[in-house]
Amino acid sequence: MATKKLLIVESPAKAGTIKKYLGKDYTVLASMGHIIDLPKSQMGVDIDNDFTPKYITIRGKGPLLSQLKKEAKKADKVYLATDPDREGEAISWHLAQALNIDPESECRVTFNEITKTAVKNAIKHPRKIDMDLVDAQQARRVLDRIVGYTISPILWEKVKRGLSAGRVQSVATKLICDREDEIENFTPQEYWSIETVLTDPKSKKDFAAKYYGENGKEVTLNNAAETKKVSDDLSGTDFVVQKVKRGQQKRNPQPPFTTSTLQQDASRKYNFQAAKTMQIAQMLYEGINLGGKIGTIGLITYMRTDSLRIADDAQKEAVEYLTNEYGSEYVNPKQYKTKKSAQDAHEAIRPTSINIKPIDIKDKLTNDQYKLYKLIWERFAASQMASAVYDTMQVTIDANGHTFKASGSNVKFKGYMTVYVEATDDKEKKTKMLPPLEENNHLKLKSSEEKQHFTQPPARYSDATLIRELEENGIGRPSTYAPTISTIVSRGYVVRSKRQLVPTELGFVTSEIMKNNFSDIVDVEFTAGMEDELDSVEEGSTDWKKVLNEFYPPFRDNLEKAQKNIEKIKIKDEESDIVCDKCGRKMVYKLSKFGKFLACPGYPECKNTMAIREETGAKCPKCGGEILVKKSRRGKVYYGCEHSPKCDFMIWDMPVKDEKCPQCGGLLLKKQGKRGKIYCYNEDCKYERKSGEKE
């Protein structure tokens, strides 16, 4: 008689995928994340009793826990297969306690990818629960509880209800506020450039050269007078090539993605917010039904990782694929060096099989899933390929004692760039190769342009640059970047303006309170040091309660001082031009977890609220009303008629303002994305064009 086995994972999607791999002897159920946790209604930490956590069954999870207990009793063996990280280890530990499973028994199963081979292999090699990982999670959870549940009430009392403080979110808010201060206090410095277009008489080709200085030494042109003097000297003078330096330059591929670099690249290339990137990555990890013989399979490895390690089998498969596809000269397999603090039990984010090409499964994926899978696939493939090689040329030119410089390059060997080119935060200027110049060549001046410039302040943070800053400073870990940004936006400390994160008055006030009263909590070095302490708990070299015992006494002292010293601050709500239709006051902007809305300042006497009306400038094709920007319950933007629900017009694509269909006069719509096509709403009209094209 076959033994009955129960395998518990975190999500139903993952459970469905794994069930297909394991067959009838296995029952696969989902815990839906944590079942047991600290209570929401109180801190849930007994500080006086050596920081003992007071765990409870999460409200609403009782029936699920009862079902798991029932199935565990029927099973001959229970495997705990929650996610392969600190959080997942803690969930397994709580489940083991609730289901009367000995944590020292071989009950814990982990897999980095959800494929048939990986899952079956993991079940052959179960292990006991790693209490160092559990303790690292407990230390982080308790530490964050102490900070959040003691500082937040002070902010409620002194500033505004609904605010919160946290170790990582407070540092992130401070970074954004500090950057805004830098921008505000920045004093632009004037400087000038002279840009020439020169002609090589031999090849008859033009190229650009910039003013560099005097007699080979670099000089900055500070004003118009200095610049004009140089320009006057150039009149009628010879431009002679002084020095030509030819060479080659290599451009190396980037390593495969970690959580941080994936979020950054998806932000730069597709303008995905970090939370959206993680949501899509979760789907790709848990399993997509590709149909046919493959069926349902996890397409990528675990997406919360800071490791750059690649499994030997995956690397071998990549080498074979790339050799067949591009030739051996394009292949250069390598393992990348992972930083010391990374959890090396994980791999980098990669496709579970390089043979599942994005284009082959495009019809099985949503547009966003396809974009992210393609990004991950290409980055991994490129990481195992040869460097790109450029021919470079640098030229120094003399003109009556004034030095000009020009440089150019072209690709000699594309290497990894055949597959993937990384995005950057800085705009790269493409350069082409210079004419075949030689020393002492005389050149003709075709044109010269003087340009005034001013030094620029540092740019505001975007999702990508903030994540990079947090990671470079050792603040937070892979699982915290996306929720941190979501929290500071939802609390109203920061608003999004295009792709930038801009602090609000509330953000400045809260950050100032934190700096003046809890300087350690918002100190970058202190927070990074705390992360190192938590890592040492995971490594088994530090007791988790020792970390808390060292942290709490000075924190408690600051807490007591803050309670006495912080004066009540009244933040004035931003006033709108809209008059309350019930009492006549001017309505003010308020913030909820669903975004901004209008409320009457006369609350509680007048409780009137309104949604913010955002017009598109286009008219409803059904009734002629204004088409407004609206949001679904899940926060997704759509476009609907102002007369809803009487008029049922609703569309996901953006109406085009001030332009009608040139063929039928109907409403034009634009698909999402920079290059989204423009097309006619009228189904009988087939008009469409590329975005950016004009009629």
Out of 21, 79, 285, 302, pick the active-site residue: 302
Query: Are 8 and 79 within 8 A, CB to CB?
Result: yes
The H or E element that residue 391 is part of is strand 388-399
CB 156 within 8 A of CB 165: no
124 in the same domain as 9: yes
Nearest to 155 by CA among 567, 560, 604, 654: 567
Residue 145 lies in a domain: no
pLDDT at 54: 95
Domain membership of residue 69 (yes or no) is yes
Q: How far apart are CA 6 and CA 29, in angstroms?
A: 8
Q: Give the burial string for 397-427 (b: 16+ CB within 10 Å, else e).
A: bbbeebbbbbbbbeeebbbbbbbbbbeeeee
Is the pTM higher than 0.85?
Answer: no
CATH of the domain at 233: 2.70.20.10
End-to-end CA distance of the chain: 74
Residue 211 predicted with pLDDT over 90: yes
Read off the pLDDT band of 430 (50, 70, 90).
low
For residue 16, is it within any domain? yes
* pLDDT at 690 (0 to 100): 80
Residue 263 lies in a domain: no
Same domain, 467 and 444: no
Domain membership of residue 164 (yes or no) is yes
Are 309 and 482 in contact by the 8 Å Cβ rule? The answer is no
Same domain, 215 and 244: yes
Residues 647-675: tens digit of each pLDDT: 889 998 899 888 889 889 899 998 876 56
488, 531: one domain: yes
Strand 637-641 and strand 650-651: the pairing is: antiparallel
Same domain, 160 and 174: yes
Residues 52 and 35 in one domain: yes
Cα dihedral value 442, 448, 452, 456, nearest 10: -60
Instruction: Indicate whether 275 belongs to any domain.
Output: yes
Residue range 518-566, pLDDT digits in tens: 988 888 998 889 888 988 998 889 999 999 999 999 999 999 999 888 8
545: nearest Cα among 127, 219, 142: 142
- My answer on whether 28 and 120 are in the same domain is yes
Please tell me whether residue 680 adopts helix, strand or coil conformation: strand
List pLDDT tens digits, range 576-614: 888 898 888 888 887 665 567 889 988 888 989 887 778
CATH number for the domain that contains residue 550 = 1.10.460.10
Count of domains observed in the chain: 6
What would the mean pLDDT of 122-147 be, rounded to a whole number? 94
Strands (E), 238-352: 239-251, 288-289, 296-297
By the 8 A CB rule, do 372 and 277 touch?
A: yes
| Residue range(s) defining the domain that contains residue 593 | 575-610
Confidence of residue 477 (pLDDT cuts 50, 70, 90): confident
Residues 173 and 280 in one domain: no
CA angle (271 as vertex; 692, 467 as ends), nearest 5: 150
- Candidates 88, 472, 487; CA nearest to 260 is 472
Spacing of C-alpha 22 from chain mean position: 35
pLDDT of amino acid 646: 87
State whether 590 and 649 are in the same domain.
no
Is 302 noted as a catalytic residue in this protein? yes
Residues 448 and 476 both lie in one domain: no
Strands (E), 323-366: none
Q: Under a CB-based contact definition with an 8 Å cutoff, are residues 124 and 482 in contact?
A: no
Confidence of residue 644 (pLDDT cuts 50, 70, 90): confident
648 in any annotated domain: yes
Is pLDDT above 60 for 260?
A: yes
Q: Is there a domain that residue 245 lies in?
A: yes
Task: Report which secondary-structure segment, H or E, holds 464.
Answer: helix 463-472
